[in-house]
Amino acid sequence: MDCEPTNTSQRADSSPSPNLSLDTIFDTLSHSYRRLILSYLSQTENDLATIDDLVTVISKHESETETRMQCTQDDTVRVALQHNHLPKLDDAGVIEFDTRSETIRYWSHPKMEKYLSIIET
């Protein structure tokens, strides 16, 4: 008898790391880029984004608070995402970052989202 688990459509069920420690949550939410990334991803319908999507979101947010040349800002944001923030979120099990396709899959974590919503208010 083949006992395969049934596939559910809930994101939390397929999450690679459902039990995040408070230290991991606070460390993850400690930088504004990571908060913006998680906020954006939690609002997407299919839980997917590209690096270009995230660069646009972060650059737009930064341009509202700072005045810099847009091309320089986009390049700076892209490097920070690729080398720091996305790997950190991936290591925490909050996202899956495919470096080859430059796509990001979001894994919902209710506890993380709870603290994110508190910070955003």
pLDDT in tens, 69-86: 565 688 899 999 999 999
Q: Which CATH class is domain 21-120?
A: mainly alpha
Beta partners for residue 95, in sequence order: 106
Asked whether the whole model's pTM tops 0.85, one would answer no
Domain limits, the chain: 21-120
Asked which of 30-34, 57-61, 88-92 is least confident by mean pLDDT, the reply is: 57-61
Rounded CA separation 13/7 (Å) = 9
Mean pLDDT of 85-108: 95
CB atoms within 10 A of CB 109: 25
Residue 15 in this model has a pLDDT that exceeds 60: no
Could you please report the per-residue DSSP string of the chain?
---PPPP-S-TGGG-S-----HHHHHHHTTSHHHHHHHHHHHT-SSSEEEHHHHHHHHHHHHHHH----HHHHHHHHHHHIIIIIHHHHHHHTSEEEETTTTEEEE---HHHHHHHHHHH-
Which amino acid, one-letter code, is at 94?
Answer: V
